[in-house]
Amino acid sequence: EKNGYEHYMLKEIHEQPDALRRVLANRVSTQGVNLDEIGLTAEELKKYSQIQVVACGTAYYSGMVGKYIIEELARIPVKVDVASEFRYSNPIIDKDTLVIVVSQSGETADTLAGLRLAREKGAEVLALTNVVGSTIAREADRVLYLKAGPEIAVASTKAYLTMVSVFYLLAVQFAKIKGTINDDEYMGLVSDLIRLPELASETIKVSEEKAKEKARYFIDYDNSFYIGRNFDYTIALEGALKLKEISYLHAEAYPAGELKHGPLALIEEGIPVVAVVTRRSLYDKMLSNIKEVKARGANITAVAIAGDAEVEKAVDDVIFIPECNEFFSGLLAVIPLQLLAYYTAVGRGFDVDQPRNLAKSVTVE
Ligand code: M6R
């Protein structure tokens, strides 16, 4: 069933363009975004004064991308909490809060407890989940299925891409309804969303060899840093989690502008640093952060937009991703980071699909 791939994880990485095709099918077309399946009228959508996302691990990081995109496009405040904290907090939510719980398996104990707490508080719960009929799907008020297909590897890959895509759909839809973007901007975003599957496929093609090569360097280092700004930072978090869970190497993700408030002290000759540089608005800031770590001897791998000669000059290696709408490039940037983690773990000889101490579905607290 691995279809000729050595591991499920690699197979699932390669299935990402198809997973994106499925999650977007019937939900976005040249006519626009259509989320009628959740049964919310424009009036109902407009009444939400805030959004609260609750999830764990990779699903939590997808919510962080959601926060940036929804706040930027639709101007609705979004709070994102890990479920194990949220469930024991006294959250300020009510009937005008849309709570979005995100879970590939739909069975994560903490996320389920968060869902129940939100409902007790009178909030509406929308679940993003991959498993039809899962407990979370059954207990939520509304569900958007991720349609990623079965994900077997413990390290989540294709489910993450579909989660982020659903946040994109929600952000674009909310923005349209709230009138925070005009018709041209709306149609521009829609046509870029439609291109995502094809761009993901191109990203795999252009980045795999490079990520594989660079993985050889990571094998020898116990510590690494992943840096980025704005939603590139959330991509850094997800990339670092992938490396930790399957290669057992420590990776720390940091907002690039925070380095000089502490971790810069840890940068020494040769230490691997991954820099995610897709935000045009923060390009210059990121470039100076890259130079800061380079000056202290770090070995930098950048994930940047194709043709970015300036970043290429400033770093040791660059993995290019195809040019696309600035809002969606983060999603593509995660793909080379998944591949980098995968090939590092393979190079270290570990059981990629079943990392020690971890389970695919965490149904106990
Ligand atoms: O099934 P869920 O999406 O609720 O799982 C949440 C996390 O346990 C999961 O994403 C975990 O962090 C992955 N192993 C990361 O690759």
Please report, as a single letter, which amino acid is at residue 256.
A
Quote ipTM for the complex.
0.98
Q: Quick one: which atom of ligand 1 is closest to the CA of 360?
A: 14
For the segment 296-312, the average pLDDT, to the nearest whole number, is: 96
DSSP one-letter code for 264: G
Instruction: Place 326 in a pLDDT band, splitting at 50, 70 and 90.
Output: confident
Give the percent of the chain with pLDDT over 70.
100
Q: What is the pLDDT of residue 10?
A: 98
Instruction: Place 352 in a pLDDT band, splitting at 50, 70 and 90.
Output: very high
Q: What is the pLDDT of residues 222-263, one digit of tens each?
A: 999 999 999 999 999 999 999 999 999 999 999 999 999 988
Check: pTM over 0.95? Answer yes or no: yes
Does the Cβ of 155 fall within 6 Å of ligand 1? Answer: yes
Q: What is the pLDDT of residue 71?
A: 97
CA distance 318 to 320: 6
Q: Quick one: which atom of ligand 1 is closest to the CA of 111?
A: 4
Does the Cβ of 12 fall within 6 Å of ligand 1? Answer: no
Residues known to be catalytic: 360
Ligand 1, atom 16: closest residue by C-alpha: 155
Q: Is 305 helix (H, G, I), strand (E, B) or coil?
A: strand
Give the percent of the chain with pLDDT over 90.
90
CA distance 200 to 265: 36
Q: What is the pLDDT of residues 15-55, one digit of tens each?
A: 999 999 999 999 999 999 999 999 988 898 899 999 999 99
Average model confidence (pLDDT) across the chain: 96
Q: What is the pLDDT of residue 61?
A: 98
CB 139 within 8 A of CB 126: no
Q: What is the pLDDT of residue 361?
A: 87
Tokens describing residue 191: 């046509």
Distance 151 CA to ligand 1 centre (A): 11
Distance 104 CA to ligand 1 centre (A): 7
Does the Cβ of 361 fall within 6 Å of ligand 1? Answer: yes
CA distance 177 to 165: 18
Ligand 1, atom 7: closest residue by C-alpha: 57
Ligand 1, atom 9: closest residue by C-alpha: 57
Q: What is the pLDDT of residue 177?
A: 95
Q: What is the pLDDT of residues 92-150, one digit of tens each?
A: 999 999 999 999 999 999 999 999 999 999 999 999 999 999 999 999 999 999 999 99
To test ligand 1's pocket by mutation, which of 7, 53, 58 has the most ligand atoms within 8 angstroms of CB?
Answer: 58
pLDDT tops 90 at residue 281: no
CA distance 252 to 234: 12
To test ligand 1's pocket by mutation, which of 9, 12, 84, 104 has the most ligand atoms within 8 angstroms of CB?
Answer: 104
pLDDT tops 90 at residue 280: no
Instruction: Place 165 in a pLDDT band, splitting at 50, 70 and 90.
Output: very high
Q: What is the pLDDT of residue 1?
A: 83
Does the Cβ of 56 fall within 6 Å of ligand 1? Answer: yes
pLDDT tops 90 at residue 279: no
Q: Quick one: which atom of ligand 1 is closest to the CA of 55?
A: 4
To test ligand 1's pocket by mutation, which of 7, 144, 235, 362 has the most ligand atoms within 8 angstroms of CB?
Answer: 362
Q: Quick one: which atom of ligand 1 is closest to the CA of 56?
A: 6
Q: What is the pLDDT of residue 81?
A: 98
Closest CA to 332 of 16, 56, 9: 16
